[in-house]
Amino acid sequence: MPSPAAPRPLEGLLVVSLEQAVAAPFATRQLADLGARVIKVERPGSGDFARGYDTAVHGLSSYFVWLNRGKESLTLDVKSDSGRAVLGTLLEKADVFVHNLGPGAVGRLGFGVEALAELNPRLVDCAVNGYGSTGSWAQRKAYDLLIQCQTGLVSITGGPETGARVGISVADIAAGMYAFSGVLAALLARATTGVARPVEVSLFDALAEWMSQPAYYTAFTGVEPRRLGTHHATIAPYGAYPAADGTEVLFSIQNDLEWKTFCTDFLEDAAIVDDERFSSGANRVANRAALDVFVTAAFARRTSDEVVALLDRLRIANARINQVAEFLDHPVLRERGRWHEVQTPGGPAPALAPPIDIAGVTPVMGDVPALGEHTDALLAEFGLEPGAIEKLHADGVV
């Protein structure tokens, strides 16, 4: 008989989120996947502005569908006195409060760190912001591409002629991941010490951490990493080359043993192994143009299928450059059952299982909520009488 499913790690935890866009919703969606109950507080009428980014999924935003499954939507005007009172009631009973409003907005609402500690000493407060809460940039607006620019990521991404934005919201995603792990660490600390400590994550700090390797390289060599398209700035050969049929295949040489095998069996010229220009990783980078002559010629002698087959046989890492449509049907996803179905207000949609796979635990992967779908039920659950709920509707608070 199959063993019974294990309890989800975060079952019983209540998360209240005052969130928008990508970073904070990504953090709370992962908490929801692991069993936490997430109440998403949204503006009456419009909600999280990410709902309007596009209409790709049954008329819904692809961003919103990705980031908000498994949450309950409560519409609430938190700028009104009655709306703030409702939010306070939620936070009194919550375990975690995640928010990424504009600089200082949560404090102006009366829910700063000190106020929250008085309201609910067991509450883990997680603030996601742009440049941190201290320093001269604390009040500055921050969006994903702005952070990519400020950290230097755009300067090392793209081709030789111009820099480029990374094709996904990498700063937001980085901050969301650190907020998720920061909340888990704070919950563990609360469980072991009894103290709930606030968590703060900035988009700038998150992406700055991811920029550490090029930062070290630049600081210690005095040379900025070059923009080389699909080629690696500090490792060679490591990049994509066109095969005889015009299809590009990317491959990577990581050590001297692979280099020798590549020279003898792929380049079919063992003498290249002893060529001083290519005798070390640093020399191969310095003499990249000369090396590319040999690699390009070897690729041109074979079709892309032949290139992949030979590199696979030599156990040299390689990859075709897939289009997004090809990724959707990738064998790694298909064979391992990574695609699941979630419900949205417009109909069913495919969704990838969470990357964290805990033995015996089935992730929640709940429905994507319609705007305000759970408002009345939540208000009643948290103690409001029917007449009070009707008044909140009449006053436009919910």
Residue located via tokens 């010629």: 297
Q: 262: which 2 tokens? A: 């590549």
Measured distance CA(121)–CA(174) in Å, rounded: 28
Which residues are identified as catalytic? 232
In tens digits, the chain (398 residues) has pLDDT values of 345 568 899 999 999 999 999 999 999 999 999 999 999 999 999 999 999 999 999 999 999 999 999 999 999 999 999 999 999 999 999 999 999 998 889 999 999 999 999 999 999 999 999 999 999 999 999 999 999 999 999 999 999 999 999 999 999 999 999 999 999 999 999 999 999 999 999 999 999 999 999 999 999 999 999 899 999 988 999 999 999 999 999 999 999 999 999 999 999 999 999 899 999 999 999 999 999 999 999 999 999 999 999 999 999 999 999 999 999 999 999 999 999 999 999 999 999 999 999 999 999 999 999 999 999 999 999 999 999 999 999 999 99
For residue 128, the cross-strand partners are 201
Residue 103 confidence (pLDDT) = 86
Q: Which amino acid is at 287?
A: N
Residue boundaries of the structural domains of the chain: 14-211+339-394, 238-320
Give me the long-range contacts of 265-271 (CB less than 8 A, separation at least 24).
265/310, 265/314, 266/298, 266/310, 266/311, 266/314, 266/316, 267/294, 267/295, 267/298, 268/298, 269/294
CATH 3.30.1660.40 matches 14-211+339-394: no
Residue 2 confidence (pLDDT) = 45
Task: Give the count of beta carbons closer than 10 Å to the beta carbon of residue 171.
Answer: 30
14-211+339-394 and 238-320 in the same fold: no
Residue 338 confidence (pLDDT) = 95
Burial of 329 (0-12, 13-18, 19+ CB in 10 A): exposed
Could you check whether the bond before residue 2 is cis, i.e. omega within 30 degrees of 0? no
Q: 48: which 2 tokens? A: 């999280």
CATH 3.30.1540.10 matches 238-320: yes
